[in-house]
Amino acid sequence: MARGITGSFFLNQTVTLPAANASGTFVQAEIDCASLVNAPKGQAIEIEEVDFTVQRATLYTSDVESMVVGNGSIDFQLTDLNPGTSFVRGDSQSLIASGSLNIDQSNCIGTYVSDLYPDSYGKNNGFMVVNDTLYLNAVSAGTAIGANDVYVNVRMRVKIVKLGPADWTSIALQTVSSDQ
């Protein structure tokens, strides 16, 4: 079992969906974890919790009516392998967390849906990361972004852990199974 080297701390990142960004146009941001992961020493990151927020630029509000041009959604995923300009399927082993803000623009109603979070894995069993980069992707679907940029923010509670041989074997098996 992984042994904590540090207490919990937070990592944050933001993807900016530019004003008038067309539906289906992905934007990606990277989270550099190279200084936190050290494979030769068995050091990894355990992601304990992930939260997303979606805000309209300039005022940092959640005014869903102004975020988009029409009915649609703003979707986002956090992965530990680079999906390029797309999303990974829900059963991908590289998917850490994902969610969606579904927007009924004409009625000014936003419904937030979280698909997958590390807290789903149980206490003391978060998502183990041995890669030196995480990827946050976002896209608007079914509608374009409105007159202002839209920020998709991720905030992760993480800690640095020392992995034992059984942990490394589990991660290797998980990686191989996701390549099938």
75 has a pLDDT exceeding 60? yes
Q: What is the pLDDT of residue 156?
A: 94
Q: What is the pLDDT of residue 39?
A: 80
CA–CA separation, 20 and 145 (whole Å): 5
- How much is the mean pLDDT over the chain? 89
When comparing pLDDT for 1 and 139, which is higher? 139
Place of tokens 């990277």: 30
174 has a pLDDT exceeding 70? no
**Torsion, Cα of 116, 135, 149, 111 (10° steps):** 0
Q: What is the pLDDT of residue 180?
A: 44
Q: What is the pLDDT of residue 76?
A: 97
179 has a pLDDT exceeding 60? no
pLDDT digits (tens, 9 = 90+) for 81-140: 999 989 999 888 889 999 999 999 889 899 998 877 766 565 557 888 888 999 999 999
% of the chain with per-residue pLDDT over 70: 89
CA–CA separation, 100 and 74 (whole Å): 6
pLDDT band at 163 (very low <50, low <70, confident <90, very high): confident
Burial class (CB in 10 A: 0-12, 13-18, 19+), 54: buried
CA–CA separation, 144 and 20 (whole Å): 6
